[in-house]
Structure 1
Amino acid sequence: MSRVHFIGVGGSGMSAVARLTAAAGHEVSGTDMRVSHYFEALRDAGMNVTIGHDAANVDGVDQVVISTAVRETNPELARARERGIEVVHRSEALARALDHHRLIAVAGSHGKTTTSAMVAHVLHGAGVDASFAVGARVFGIDGAVAGGYAGDSDIAVVEADESDGSFLRYHPEVAILLNVEPDHLDYYGTEERLHEAFTEFSSDCRVLVVCADDPTAISIARTASERGVEVISYGRGDGDVRVSATGWAYQGEEYTVAVPVPGDHMVLNAAAAWAASVAMGADRQAAARAVESFGGTGRRYQLRGEVAGITVVDDYAHHPTEVAALIAAARSAGAGHLVVLFQPALFSRTQLHAANFAAALSAPNADVVISGVHGDREDPLPGVNSQTILDQMVIPEDSTAVVVETLEDAAARVADVASEGDLVLTVGSGPVTYAGEWILDALKAREAGNG
């Protein structure tokens, strides 16, 4: 048994890896700068996690695990470098923890978390006690904590993150490629290099499940096929798995499936999860039935609460396509007037996609509040801010849009404008997730005052 220390253990991805590392028999500790839902789940599970970074925390450990977000100036990382302690990326730590497992790895520019959770749920519903590491809570699987679960079977599901190239550390038996769009060019530099990385990932598996509706993904799949990979495509038009609003057809058999989460894209994600599970040996009918009981994941169209007829839903959407799909899903679920609090994540992404964010947010019958950019691991870029998005919006006559720089003030603005019957969406990959509770508290206070 070795001692493994996680820096930034409260992140969605890191917490899952920490749990699986502990399940593999290692002594695990971890630190973070603030309490999160994931941090609390690990602490409640009895793991040695603390708030605050201190160089002394790595004394006596055998390995330190980091993510790209951990800077070299972090005192724990600096001490580890100074002492010659092995430092590995979280993806390498996960690969080691699952070294003897048959992997299903889910990749794509968006949809990875929900689809990974769907795969895990479908396998469990089909009687396969699969391990998994997913960047969000997976509802409905007993024993799952903070996106991580250690099962008894030799099958594991991993969400394969392309943002820093770390998904190339996995060597899955079955891979899913959902879509490919320009993102993380701060790391890759060019779209060509991004596509090359996805091609390498897609060629390093036995079976590739790919969306036939995405031209770039299908082009990559053709290359993988030429390299000997079995390809199973799915889509609304062409595809081995032909998807409709009521289910899908595969190899002459029809499967009527009611996908329990809103949005047309979720039906495609469910078909991908089903196809990957079947490729790994799950019973087809049992897998189809399991889809219908999927309980969702944390921060993916997650209901936060309802006060005075106002519903608050939180979602991780942080790419323009995801934001547009979220708004479409809300409409398909019957939402009328929307109040959207969007927090852009990363200055580089805001710069690259400002026009597309503007288009996605230019929704009818909506009040849009854009908070300041969450820089996370990046330093600000001159002239790039939330106003960059607002300036390019075409705001319908029955809608409004405004920039409110601080997240707290933005949440207060949302609470002020929301009224009975509205659906409030808190949107983004950063601390905007906490705004849902602030909004609900403000609405409760308003209701009490009116009473």
Structure 2
Amino acid sequence: MTSATPDLRALAGDRPVHFMGVGGAGMCGLAELLVRSGGRVSGCDQKENAALADLARIGAAVSLGHDAAHVASASALVITSAVPQDHPEVVAARRAGIPVLKRAEALGAWVASGTVVAIAGTHGKTTTTAMTTEVLARAGKDPTGIVGGRVAAWDGNLRFGSPSLYVVEADEYDRSFHQLTPDIAVVTNVEADHLDIYGDYTGVRAGFAQFLEGVRSGGRVIACADDHGASSLLPRVASKAYTYGTSAGSMLRATDVSVGADLTRCTVLEDGRRVGTLALRKGGRHNLLNALAAAAVARALGVDWIPIRKALADFAGVARRFERLGDAAGVLVIDDYAHHPTEITATLATARASFPGARLVVAFQPHLFSRTRDFTVEFGRALALADVVWVTDVFPAREAPIPGVTGETVVQATRAAGAEDVRYHPDIASVADALAEDLRSGDVLITLGAGSIETVGRAVLARLSRVGPREVVHA
């Protein structure tokens, strides 16, 4: 954010602020925030989804498809980083003298007037942001929380609360988090990703370091001591630093950790002193670390342990984060947003611990040609942890194809990593039927990816429910 960035509050009066791609995970929460704050909003997207329906219900004017005419009456145009500058709506807005803001700029300008808690990291941002918001809400602080996923307790991507306290997911893509000037910055972990933006890990790390340089005077930097990438940033901000994790020396430390299918427990030490236990409804060591980060933020804001423990115990999660969709014909179906090798490894480790003895079947849709190219070997190693692996073609999102990079690339890497049962099924539209034909009673199916694969799990359940166990149980 710069001093020249217009504040949407001043623009959304008689004329609406127009959001391109308003149904997207990052855009819909910001658009809803503007509507609930009394502003006028219009928006468009390529296809219908729950976010569009929610926005229409609260008064936003939403439409399908993109058209330069959409901006004719707009006071400002908000776009994602993926929208090209030669897009007809962008060109029309600039010709008409209408301000064009990236989503990150608009968010940074909006929240700057309040206390800002910004949650950054290669993995775990969405869940940690939601957890932190819920803890602060339980403590009576009434935060406004904005995340890139649908939170069960909010039925959407926004918790609308006080304009004096914001908890926001700080996305590193396109250096978006540099638009924020937080009072408290959290770094869950730092790994190589978005190499189309940063070039290599050194560039990624430098991007996070610059984010921390934006923390306000008197602020705090909270980082995971278990992650080398995160903790290695702390010497530059030593006076503001606070650590959490399971490692010895963590200022907020979890010990005696027990991870089960539906429950994670630990003892918590604060500055070496036992302060009680935490119990989570989510499995996985990564979720425990997310919870510790949320607790660390709450403690920095003066919250005592009773509401922290209660809020974390009640936290129901975020959509597409190890989300159990249901079961049919003896098959349990789980959907997860994991689209980076480290995330896939964590998801499959949680599944192994939760369902010992079950056959783990994974359907993976690679996300972005560049990410598939940059992490081919790592994807293979991660997916090889499953018993059966199905791979579709790459979900391109904002990218053009890269020659020689397809789902087959991942299949070959997974076989090279030692997996014996790996299938390439390029067509996402028909993979649900193929999976349903192959699944056995007792299997656990996990759909993985950040693209359109989110529809596959429910399609498999519908097919299994129609067919019945006789046709899906194989010898």
Q: What TM-score do the two structures reach when normalised by structure 2?
A: 0.89
Note the C-alpha offset of 1:137.
1.1
CA deviations over 1:220-267 (Å, ceiling 9, x no partner): 111122xx4243343333311111311321021332011111111111
- Contact in 2 for aligned 1:203/1:229 (Cα 8 Å): no
Match in the other structure for 2:338? 317
Distance 1:385 1:306 in 2: 31
Question: What letter corresponds to residue 313 of structure 1 in structure 2?
Answer: I
Aligned match for 1:21, one of 16, 34, 37? 34
Farther off after superposition, 260-269 or 276-285: 276-285
Structure 2 match to 1:327: 348
In structure 2, give the amino acid aligned to 1:445. R
Task: State the aligned residue count.
Answer: 445
Kept in 1, the 8 Å contact 2:380–2:417? The answer is: no
Partner in structure 1 of residue 325 of structure 2: 304
Any idea what the Cα deviations from partners look like across 1:358-402, whole Å, max 9, x if unmatched? Answer: 0000025x2110000011101111111111111122479895111
Give the C-alpha shift of residue 313 in structure 1: 1.1
Please give the alpha-carbon distance, in whole angstroms, between the structure 2 residues aligned to 1:236 and 1:411.
42
Supply the distance in 1 between the matched residues of 2:51 and 2:309 (Cα, whole angstroms). 30
* 1:332 to partner: Cα distance: 1.7
The counterpart of 2:88, out of the listed 56, 72, 75, is 75
> In the alignment, is the contact (CA less than 8 A) between 2:120 and 2:171 conserved in 1?
yes
1:210 aligns with: 223
Relative to structure 1, the CA distance from residue 166 to residue 397 in structure 2 (aligned partners, 3 Å threshold; closer, same or farther) is: closer
Correspondence for 1:348 among 355, 370, 384: 370
Answer yes or no: is the 8 Å Cα contact 1:344–1:372 preserved in 2: yes
Residues 361, 393 of structure 1: 8 Å contact kept: yes
Pairing 1:131–2:174 present: no
- C-alpha RMSD of the superposition: 1.9
Measured in 2, the distance between the counterparts of 1:54 and 1:137 equals 28
**Aligned residues of 1:129 and 1:153 also touching (Cα < 8 A):** no
Aligned to 1:234: 245
SS of corresponding position for 2:334: strand
Amino acid at match of 2:397: D
Show the counterpart of 1:200: 210
Question: Which residue matches 1:151?
Answer: 161
**TM-score, normalising length: structure 1:** 0.94
Q: Distance in 2 between matches of 1:438 and 1:282?
A: 43
Q: Which residue, 257, 261, 266 being the options, matches 2:287?
A: 266
Q: Give the alignment partner of residue 34 of structure 1, picking from 47, 52, 76.
A: 47
Name the amino acid aligned to 1:179.
Answer: N
Aligned to 1:221: 234
Partner of residue 196, structure 2: 186
The structural deviation recorded for 1:441 is 1.7
Aligned to 2:414: 393
2:450 is the counterpart of 1:429:
yes
Unmatched segments (≥5 aa) in structure 1: none
Match of 2:359 in 1: 337
Within the alignment, does 1:248 sit opposite 2:268 as a pair?
yes
Task: Report if the CA contact (8 A) 2:40-2:60 is conserved.
Answer: no
CA distance in 2, matches of 1:147, 1:208: 25
Percent identity of paired positions between Structure 1 and Structure 2: 36
Change (3 A) 1:40 1:377: same
SS at match of 1:109: coil
SS in 2 for 1:299: coil
Where 1:40 maps in the other structure, the secondary structure is helix
Q: Tell me if the contact between 2:441 and 2:469 (Cα under 8 Å) persists in the aligned partners.
A: no
Does residue 118 of structure 2 align to residue 105 of structure 1?
Answer: yes
Q: More displaced, 38-47 or 196-205?
A: 38-47
Pick closer, same or farther for the CA change 1:19–1:183 going to 2, 3 Å. Answer: same
1:25 counterpart SS class: coil
Q: Which has the higher contact order (CA 8 A, sep 6+)?
A: 1
Alignment CA distance shift 1:125-1:321 (3 Å): same
Structure 2 unaligned residues grouped into runs of 5+: 1-11, 258-265
- Amino acid across the alignment from 2:246: G
Q: Give the Cα separation in 2 of the matches to 1:46 and 1:286.
A: 34
Contact 1:42/1:146 (CA < 8 Å) preserved in 2? no
The question of 1:91 aligning with 2:104 is answered yes
- Tell me, yes or no, if structure 1 residue 358 matches structure 2 residue 380: yes
